[in-house]
């Protein structure tokens, strides 16, 4: 098995980032975007304006109401996925990002929330990957999943012909474990925390919970519980270990949602994975100060750029697996 290659944030990475996107205006000028539609899913296909063909990345969004650009009506306005797509295009790499079923312009793909299961997201990602691979201007497809989207990408990788897998600040343990940690660390009243942990334990045990307090409805409302039941106990590391394609693991050092334990589980499952560590990046892959307040404020700042070491190293990996 090949030896793992570790990539650390470095001066050379920052220099390459400057070459790729030293001027945002020039980057936008060289990017073209087209609407994409497939069986009720809608998205955006982004490509370099002057290159006739090349590899493509399917960007798979994280949990909840997160849309194709990386934004969420709950207060997230980070534009992470849009920025990533444009940075890749500036280096000659195409991408597709899409609204998940029931989200944004793909709302018609899901009529009742209680009907949603995790495997629906996997099926959608695999269909999108196959559609990408069938385009005449595409030479190979790489899946890139962020957060919960990493687990979607892992499972979709075996259902489509892809060249590689990128896991961006992704789950590495069954979702119930990091969710418990987040609830324990969250600045919420003790009674709300106790209720949340009780409900989580019941869901993990396979029970339905009807008495969800109003403050916890956004997380545990009865209509979302069937989806949670379908995903809570899936093991990302075990699923990753079944795959035999090149993998890039991206760890954000100031991630408040995904812990080092998740990253360690993924790295252990694939000892040959390429590693990219971004010590000052938060969960939305932007460089932030160490304090929690600054970290959270970045979620609502669409002008804060991505960590400058991210795009160059993604480009390097993608070109190595899908030249």
Which of 233, 253, 274 terminates a domain? The answer is: 233
Q: Is the same domain home to 167 and 280?
A: yes
pLDDT at residue 18 in the model: 43
Q: Is the same domain home to 128 and 276?
A: yes
pLDDT at residue 27 in the model: 58
pLDDT at residue 118 in the model: 96
Which of 233, 248, 279 terminates a domain? The answer is: 233
pLDDT at residue 51 in the model: 84
Work out how many domains the chain is built from and give that number: 2
pLDDT tier for residue 22 given thresholds of 50, 70 and 90: very low
Residue 197 placed within a domain: yes
Domain CATH code at residue 252: 3.40.50.1820
Whether the pLDDT of residue 134 is over 60: the answer is yes
pLDDT at residue 24 in the model: 53
Q: Is the same domain home to 98 and 210?
A: no
pLDDT tier for residue 13 given thresholds of 50, 70 and 90: very low
Three-state SS for the chain is: CCCCCEEECCHHHHHHHHHHHCCHHHHHHCEEEEEEEECCEEEEEEEECCCCCEEEEEEECCCCCCCCCCEECCCEECCHHHHHHHHHHHCCCEEEEECCCCCHHHHHHCCCHHHCCHHHHHHHHHHHHHHHHCCCCEEEEEEEEECHHHHHHHHHCCCCCCCEEEEECCCCCCCHHHHHHHHHHCCCCHHHHHHHHHHHHHHHCCCCCCCCCHHHHHHHCHHHHHHHHHHCCCCHHHHHHCCCCCEEEEEECCCCCCCHHHHHHHHHHCCCCEEEEECCECCCCCECCCCHHHHHHHHHCCCCCCCCCHHHHHHHHHHHHCC
Average pLDDT of the residues of the chain: 91
Whether the pLDDT of residue 265 is over 90: the answer is yes
pLDDT tier for residue 111 given thresholds of 50, 70 and 90: confident
Whether the pLDDT of residue 176 is over 80: the answer is yes
Domain that holds residue 11: 6-173+234-321
Q: Is the same domain home to 192 and 268?
A: no
Question: What pTM, to 2 d.p., does this model score?
Answer: 0.88
For the stretch 49-98, pLDDT in tens is 888 899 999 999 999 899 999 999 988 999 999 999 999 999 999 999 99
For the stretch 182-195, pLDDT in tens is 899 888 999 999 99
Q: Is the same domain home to 56 and 23?
A: yes
């Amino acid at each position: 098995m090949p030896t793992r290659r570790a990539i650390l944030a470095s001066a050379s990475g920052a220099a390459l980032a400057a070459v790729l996107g030293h001027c945002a205006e020039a980057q936008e000028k060289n990017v073209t975007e087209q609407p994409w539609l497939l069986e009720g899913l809608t998205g955006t296909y982004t490509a370099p304006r002057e290159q006739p063909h090349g590899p493509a990345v399917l960007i798979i969004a994280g949990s909840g109401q997160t849309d194709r650009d990386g934004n969420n009506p709950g207060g997230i306005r980070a534009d992470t996925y849009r920025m990533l797509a444009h940075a890749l295009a500036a280096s000659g790499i195409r991408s597709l990002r899409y609204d998940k079923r029931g989200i944004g312009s793909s709302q018609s793909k899901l009529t009742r929330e209680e009907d949603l299961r995790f495997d629906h997201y996997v099926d959608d990602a695999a269909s999108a990957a196959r559609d990408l691979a069938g385009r005449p201007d595409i030479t190979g497809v790489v899946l890139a999943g962020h957060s919960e989207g990493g687990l979607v990408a892992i499972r979709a990788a075996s259902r489509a012909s892809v060249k590689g897998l990128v896991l961006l600040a992704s789950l590495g343990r069954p979702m119930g474990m990091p969710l418990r940690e987040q609830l324990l660390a969250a600045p919420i009243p003790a009674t709300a925390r106790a209720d949340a942990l009780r409900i989580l334990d019941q869901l993990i045990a396979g029970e339905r919970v009807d008495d969800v307090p109003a403050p916890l409805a956004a997380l545990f409302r009865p209509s979302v519980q069937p989806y949670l039941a379908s995903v809570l106990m899936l093991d990302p590391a075990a699923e990753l270990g079944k795959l035999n394609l090149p993998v890039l693991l991206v760890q954000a050092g100031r991630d408040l949602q995904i812990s080092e334990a998740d990253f360690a589980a993924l790295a252990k499952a694939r000892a040959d994975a390429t590693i990219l560590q971004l010590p000052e990046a938060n969960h939305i892959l932007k460089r932030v100060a160490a304090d929690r307040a600054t970290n959270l404020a970045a979620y609502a700042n669409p002008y804060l750029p991505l960590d400058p070491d991210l795009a160059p190293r993604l480009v390097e990996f993608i070109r190595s697996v899908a030249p």
